[in-house]
Amino acid sequence: MAQNGTACPKPMQATSTGVFQGENPLDYALPLVIVQIILVIVLTRTLAFLLRPLRQPRVIAEIIGGVLLGPSAFGRSEAFLQTIFPPKSLPVLDTLANLGLIFFLFLVGLELDPKALRRTGKKAMSIALAGICLPFGMGIGTSFVLRATICKGVSQGPFIVFMGVALSITAFPVLARILAELKLLTTDVGRMAMSAAAVNDVAAWILLALAIALSGTGKSPLISLWVFLCGAAFVGLCILIVPPIFKWLARHCPDGEPVDEIYICGTLAAVLAAGFVTDTIGIHALFGAFVLGILAPKDGPFASALVEKVEDLVSGLLLPLYFASSGLKTNVATIQGVQSWGLLLLVILTACFGKVIGTIVVSRLCKVPLSEAVALGVLMNSKGLVELIVLNIGKDRKVLNDQTFAIMVLMALVTTFMTTPIVMAVYKPAKRGRMYKLRTVQRKDPSTQLRIMACFHSGRTIPTMINLIEATRGTENKEGLTVYAMHLMELSERSSAIRMVHKARNNGLPFWNKGVQSDSDQVVVAFEAYGQLSRVQIRPMTAISHFSNMHEDICASAESKTAALIILPFHKHQKVDGSLETTRHEYRVINKKVLENAPCSVGILVDRGLGGSSHVSASNVDSTITVFFFGGPDDREALALGQRMSEHPGITLIVVHFRADPNIEGGEIVAIDVSDSSSSSKHSKAPDEEALDAIKQKLSKDGSVKYEERVVKATSETIEIIKEFSRCHMILVGRSPEGMAAATFSINVKAEYPEIGPVGGFLISQDVSTNASVLVMHQYSGGSRTVSIDMDEPTDGTETE
């Protein structure tokens, strides 16, 4: 906006002495930039909230917010513009915005893995090249039309390159979030789109560097050549010097220890220094930061510490200022008349035609189905921050005038906004699940292969989970055990969400970074290391979703992998003093939804450290597993899992069968309840007896299996027996036990957490003193049993709905 004034504005002082001294704080740099930051954040976050039902990425809200603050909307008021965004404040705002941009580009470079690019398949590479070449060529054609109409007198060479780059860009971070929102990361479309976009992103930066070199105002064309050559020399020097330094830093940052502050500060200073060098060369400060980000290590605590220290401040606070700065340069009012609006339509159609048609044609040549090809084309046409960077640099270098700049910003907004609805309309991935019979642990032939999906949120439950798998592998079973270890990760708007994208798997195949694992993958490393030491097939997976629909990923993956059992961590974890505290209430909601929609049996694990805090080798396993059996399908499922565990030479299984005395307390009341579901009791009695007979037959063969039958007359006796046998390593119980003894127990003992049933809830209450982990089993019934879980508030008030 400064160009409207004829004289150079007087520099602003940093701070005021206050209103009581008769000064207006908005006349000073610091108070004014604080107001600007707050206004930008409030407006963009509000727009992001309003656009959330449309499943639009946050960049859309930030672009719209920036445009609204500019002369296109709020800025039409001269009073608003002179008060909040006066010309003399813009250098401060632009400096902060570009500082945030420098560090953000460092994070973007940190997300891109050059090794993954080298492994890009021919199909994805062909799609990427088509998505670059055709739009670039059409951008050149469009540039001639614009130069003949609204861009007369603009230098032809730089303008052609800038237009080609602007139309050929694919926003890699934006595309990643759109795919995650639409749950397409693990589909063929998602895989190809991400691979092609990564190649496109790198190519765009190279072309942008060329465009900046050509846009210099030097009289001699040799200056542009020198700029480009010096930039190439800087990149080559960085490739030689930077990786050894980062490797040295990584060696001095061991796992499990905090990263020394001096290493973080040194790296951030190096990012600024690299930006200074590239700015001095004449490219742009962001290139130095981007190059350093690409060369930085992707693994280990050092990389995670860098992301953790930088991303929230940059992405949440400083980066929105860049969109505001762009919006202040965007004046939609300059698009006037039929010619201007016709040129806007031409640019949008050209951008869409080049990307979409080019991608579709090459995809079809690669034998990609039409619906997938169309979805790929639309996805590759999404724009974002890199587009704005190109346009802003072009405007700063006088390559783009106000009208062309506004047209290109609107083009970026329209093409990105339409991506999600069009993809949702044209591409509906077929459900990968297929019909299969073995959906429970209990089965006619126990020797068949057992498939388990073990879910975890963090590394806290990993030792218990691995020791549980070790106990379950069953040495006598010929077909063995297959475990899908699914890491449940929340999808967020943080820049590190891109790192989560790299972990998304397709059909349990290895990560992109096959040879190297980051510290956040230590849980995966633990599973894979265990799988190599045992004959259990371990296949790590990752679910990246919002908590509200994460259960869909779990259930869909379990069905596609034909799993018989899903193991979920309980939403509470054990503290040092032995009590349980809530980790996150959202985990409880996920467990509830999985129980209601699971395609197989479900087990909820209350972790108290089975085998201690580390993985126990097979030869050292010495655990006692107790099964409390009342009756019913859930108890039979727990018994079947316990029977499989008993085959391990280091496992001692104790089965405690509760039988109700005919004169049990409250028997009359219970009898009325049971009679209402007489079909259930009649049909479940024979299966219960069969399951118990199978256990009794093992008594004579192997002394590691013990069976005790207890007749109870009152709930108090049931409680005492449970306490008596709770001194073990793990307890298996059914979620909904049946029979007279179970019904009496359920009536007299309050079930605080319905998802783990009355017995499971009692075992984790303060009434029972035990260090045993508890696995609560719910047997899949194919819809014959309704799963109703009332999420009442617990009595301790530790959770909120």
Residue 551: which CATH number? Answer: 3.40.50.12370
Structural domain includes residue 391: yes
Secondary structure string (H, E, C) spanning 9-30? CCCCCCCCCCHHHCCCHHHCHH
* Residue that wins the pLDDT comparison between 580 and 629: 629
Examine the domain organization and report whether 418 and 477 are in the same domain: no
Q: Which of 564-573, 710-719, 742-751, 779-788 shows the lowest mean pLDDT across its residues? A: 779-788
> 3-class SS at 649?
coil
Whether 435 has a pLDDT exceeding 80, the answer reads no
Mean pLDDT within 208-230: 75
Structural domain includes residue 48: yes
User: pLDDT-derived band of residue 789, with 50, 70 and 90 as boundaries?
Assistant: low
Q: What is the per-residue pLDDT for 36?
A: 93
What CATH number is attached to the domain comprising 218?
Answer: 1.20.1530.20
User: pLDDT-derived band of residue 564, with 50, 70 and 90 as boundaries?
Assistant: very high
In angstroms, the CA 586 to CA 572 distance is 11
Q: What is the per-residue pLDDT for 545?
A: 81
Whether 506 has a pLDDT exceeding 50, the answer reads no
Examine the domain organization and report whether 469 and 332 are in the same domain: no
Q: What is the per-residue pLDDT for 518?
A: 41
Examine the domain organization and report whether 487 and 371 are in the same domain: no
Examine the domain organization and report whether 416 and 484 are in the same domain: no
Examine the domain organization and report whether 586 and 638 are in the same domain: yes
297, with CB counted inside 10 A (0-12, 13-18, 19+), is middle
Examine the domain organization and report whether 346 and 276 are in the same domain: yes
Examine the domain organization and report whether 478 and 574 are in the same domain: yes
Examine the domain organization and report whether 604 and 719 are in the same domain: yes
User: pLDDT-derived band of residue 613, with 50, 70 and 90 as boundaries?
Assistant: low
The rounded mean pLDDT for the chain is 80
Q: What is the per-residue pLDDT for 313?
A: 85
User: pLDDT-derived band of residue 560, with 50, 70 and 90 as boundaries?
Assistant: confident
Structural domain includes residue 730: yes
Alpha helix segments (H runs only) across 702-776: 715-725, 740-748, 757-763
Whether 150 has a pLDDT exceeding 80, the answer reads yes
Closest CA to 194 of 303, 290, 120, 293: 120
CB 195 within 8 A of CB 120: yes
Whether 612 has a pLDDT exceeding 70, the answer reads no
Examine the domain organization and report whether 387 and 284 are in the same domain: yes
785, with CB counted inside 10 A (0-12, 13-18, 19+), is middle
**CB within 8 Å of 187: residues ≥ 6 apart:** 429, 506
Structural domain includes residue 794: no
CB 127 within 8 A of CB 362: yes
Examine the domain organization and report whether 455 and 361 are in the same domain: no
Examine the domain organization and report whether 103 and 136 are in the same domain: yes
In angstroms, the CA 678 to CA 789 distance is 22
What's the total number of domains in the chain? Answer: 2
Examine the domain organization and report whether 185 and 147 are in the same domain: yes
User: pLDDT-derived band of residue 474, with 50, 70 and 90 as boundaries?
Assistant: low
In angstroms, the CA 248 to CA 353 distance is 48
- Alpha carbon separation from 254 to 299, 617, 625 (Å, rounded): 12, 25, 37
Look at residues 365, 393, 426 and tell me which one is the last residue of a structural domain.
426
Structural domain includes residue 51: yes
Whether 35 has a pLDDT exceeding 90, the answer reads yes
User: pLDDT-derived band of residue 214, with 50, 70 and 90 as boundaries?
Assistant: confident
Tell me the per-residue pLDDT of 665-722, one tens digit each, with 9 for 90 and over: 665 555 444 433 434 444 455 888 888 888 888 775 666 788 888 888 888 888 888 8
Task: Supply the range of the domain harboring residue 421.
Answer: 19-426
pTM summary value: 0.73
Structural domain includes residue 735: yes
- Alpha carbon separation from 622 to 471, 477, 481, 611, 648 (Å, rounded): 10, 20, 20, 8, 10
Q: Which of 488-492, 536-540, 608-612 shows the lowest mean pLDDT across its residues? A: 608-612
Residue 452, strand partner residues = 483, 565
Length in residues, the chain: 801
Whether 728 has a pLDDT exceeding 60, the answer reads yes
Structural domain includes residue 681: no
Look at residues 369, 391, 426 and tell me which one is the last residue of a structural domain.
426
Structural domain includes residue 671: no
